[in-house]
């Protein structure tokens, strides 16, 4: 068996070395370090003290009360017990506290730390371990699930070494980047790669934009920084695409410009205030462009307007939004980020194409109303632990407008999925609207619970609406 060593290629650097010194080095078999290698080592040495380890502990799961069914997840005979029931007198052992590891970085010298929302979600205690192995209990300043960003605060008793947030808009595809984090608990691990793509949307919601990189990112890297070669953070490592669970060179980092906006908002009052237009939008396809007499298929096509919203009376159905506050809108995915990062109450200028003519319109950005009354839909019946593994919320008018769901569609919005849950395995995503489960309509979270409780078919047929399109999926309820 042979092992192939990999090497990185860096731009050729002119390095004037005296001929005699070069000859002596070659005769002695001494390796000559490249300037690029030295620059990378210097960068890592400079920024590594700012990278931290996040230890998030969740409390022990409570023992089910008398008459409730046990959760057999993780038990050696769990699948058998789910199908046929536990033996008479069986008592499920207490499940102890669980611990998760992630990464983060120092935002400023006062002890503010940035990481991922999913790293600290539902944690009872959070510990931040610095690069010198000192540990401090952290408090959550605020989190934003829609961009997967969280801000923590520790009191280290002295000024910490912060990193600088760079401008993710100016980074180019092909540039070198460096990821530092704690994959599998191996702290201060450094991996390198390039920017593989920009502006990626990986179905994490309308407000998150990602840099794709081939730098190795694995479990435990979440929340860690992605650096450019100037030592600036251009992204927060948040997700990977992997059939196996390990790195296959498809990593995704939330852009630093979004992180800058979100962290500033969270530090202000612990919440994120998002701007709102109140429109349903879609991409301009080549076919739509031809039908509308548009030369290029760019912009965001307004398909619906929420009554009483900032856009009501200003924008019209059929308008194609070309720019927002002088920022180009190339596709419909650009607009929510531009509007969402605009301060509420800001007077904004929108350029639209209306009836073949460009017009400039003015309106005042409103306050985004988040979906409320979330309900965790995990129903246990008397035969087996039956669950979807999703968190849902009512379908509000705001949510309709943002997700392009028509007034004729009723259902509940998926706001979260448990890893490896039946819903996640079936391909459901945050933002999907569950319309029916089996033969029952799911207008409210309680409807979904009732439908799941009464469903006898496995897999269950679930009708969802995704971005205005109706799709059937088969979910193996467990």
- pLDDT, one tens digit per residue, over 203-234 is 666 788 899 999 999 889 999 999 999 999 99
E strand intervals along 164-208: 164-165, 176-181, 189-200
The yes-or-no answer on residue 117 being catalytic is no
Among 71-80, 314-323, 395-404, which is the least confidently predicted range?
71-80
Q: Which residues contact 102 (CB under 8 A, 6 or more apart)?
A: 53, 54, 56, 115, 116, 119, 120, 182, 220, 221, 222, 223, 224
Higher per-residue pLDDT: 13 or 183 = 183
User: Which tokens go with 248?
Assistant: 């296959």
Whether residue 404 contacts residue 281, with contact meaning beta carbons closer than 8 Å, is answered with yes
CATH number of 275-367: 2.30.42.10
CATH number of 164-269: 2.40.10.10
Q: Mean of the per-residue pLDDT values for the chain?
A: 80
* DSSP structure class, residue 427: T
**Where exactly are the structural domains of the chain?**
164-269, 275-367, 375-475
What would the mean pLDDT of 453-478 be, rounded to a whole number?
79
- Cis before residue 150, ω within 30 degrees of 0? no
Nearest CA-CA partner of 403 in 412, 68, 251, 29: 412
The yes-or-no answer on residue 118 being catalytic is yes
β-pairing, 232-240 with 251-255? antiparallel
Nearest CA-CA partner of 43 in 208, 230, 275: 230
- Among the options 168, 222, 247, 332, which is catalytic? 222
Long-range contacts of 70-78 (CB under 8 A, 24+ apart): 70/385, 71/380, 71/385, 72/385, 73/385
For domain 375-475, the CATH superfamily is PDZ domain (2.30.42.10)
pLDDT of residue 9: 31
Distance CA 340, CA 274 (A): 5
pLDDT of residue 86: 54
Distance CA 83, CA 54 (A): 38
Among 242-246, 298-302, 384-388, which is the least confidently predicted range?
384-388
Q: Please give the model's pTM, rounded to 2 decimal places.
A: 0.65
The yes-or-no answer on residue 222 being catalytic is yes
pLDDT of residue 386: 54
- pLDDT, one tens digit per residue, over 226-278 is 999 999 999 999 988 776 667 788 899 999 999 999 999 999 989 888 898 98
- Among the options 118, 144, 304, 309, which is catalytic? 118
- Among the options 50, 117, 144, 148, which is catalytic? 148
Domains 164-269 and 275-367 equal at CATH topology level: no
């Amino acid at each position: 068996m042979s092992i192939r060593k990999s090497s990185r290629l860096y731009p050729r650097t002119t390095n004037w070395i005296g001929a005699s010194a070069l000859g002596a080095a070659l005769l002695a078999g001494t390796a000559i370090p490249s300037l690029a290698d030295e620059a990378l080592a210097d960068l890592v040495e400079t920024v590594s003290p700012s990278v931290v380890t996040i230890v998030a502990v969740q409390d022990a799961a409570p023992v089910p009360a008398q008459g409730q069914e046990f959760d057999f997840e993780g038990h050696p005979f769990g699948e058998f017990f789910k199908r046929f029931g536990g033996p008479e007198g069986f008592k499920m052992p207490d499940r102890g506290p669980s611990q998760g590891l992630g990464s983060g970085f120092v935002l400023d010298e006062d002890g503010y730390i940035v990481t991922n929302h999913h790293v600290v979600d539902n944690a009872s205690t959070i510990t931040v371990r610095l690069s010198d192995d000192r540990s401090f209990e952290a408090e959550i300043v605020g989190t934003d699930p829609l961009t997967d960003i969280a801000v923590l605060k520790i009191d280290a008793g002295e000024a910490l070494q912060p990193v600088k947030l760079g401008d993710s808009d100016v980074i180019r595809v092909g540039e070198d980047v460096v990821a530092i984090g704690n994959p599998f608990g191996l702290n201060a691990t450094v991996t390198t790669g390039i920017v593989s793509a920009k502006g990626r949307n990986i179905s994490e919601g309308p407000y998150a934009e990602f840099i794709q990189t081939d730098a190795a990112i694995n479990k435990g890297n979440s929340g860690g920084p992605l650096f450019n070669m100037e030592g600036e953070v251009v992204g927060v490592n948040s997700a990977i695409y992997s059939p196996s669970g390990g790195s296959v060179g498809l990593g995704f980092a939330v852009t630093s410009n979004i992180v800058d906006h979100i962290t500033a908002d969270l530090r202000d009052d612990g919440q994120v205030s998002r701007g709102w237009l109140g429109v349903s939008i879609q991409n301009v396809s080549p076919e739509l462009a031809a039908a509308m007499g548009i030369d290029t298929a760019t912009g965001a096509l307004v398909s619906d307007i929420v009554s009483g919203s900032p856009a009501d009376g200003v924008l019209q159905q059929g308008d194609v939004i070309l720019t927002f506050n002088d920022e180009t809108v190339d596709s419909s995915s650009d607009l929510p980020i531009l509007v969402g990062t605009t301060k509420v109450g800001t007077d904004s200028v929108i350029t639209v194409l209306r009836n073949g003519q460009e017009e400039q319109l003015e309106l005042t950005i409103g306050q985004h109303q988040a979906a409320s009354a979330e309900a965790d839909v995990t129903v246990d019946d008397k035969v087996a632990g039956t669950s979807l593994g999703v968190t849902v919320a009512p379908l509000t008018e705001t949510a309709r407008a943002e997700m392009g769901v028509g007034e004729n569609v009723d259902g509940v919005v998926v706001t979260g999925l448990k890893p490896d849950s039946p819903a996640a395995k079936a391909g459901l995503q945050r933002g999907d609207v569950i319309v029916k489960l089996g033969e029952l309509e799911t207008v409210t979270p309680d409807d979904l619970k009732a439908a799941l409780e009464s469903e006898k078919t496995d897999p269950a047929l679930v009708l969802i609406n995704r971005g205005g399109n109706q799709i059937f999926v088969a979910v193996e309820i467990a």
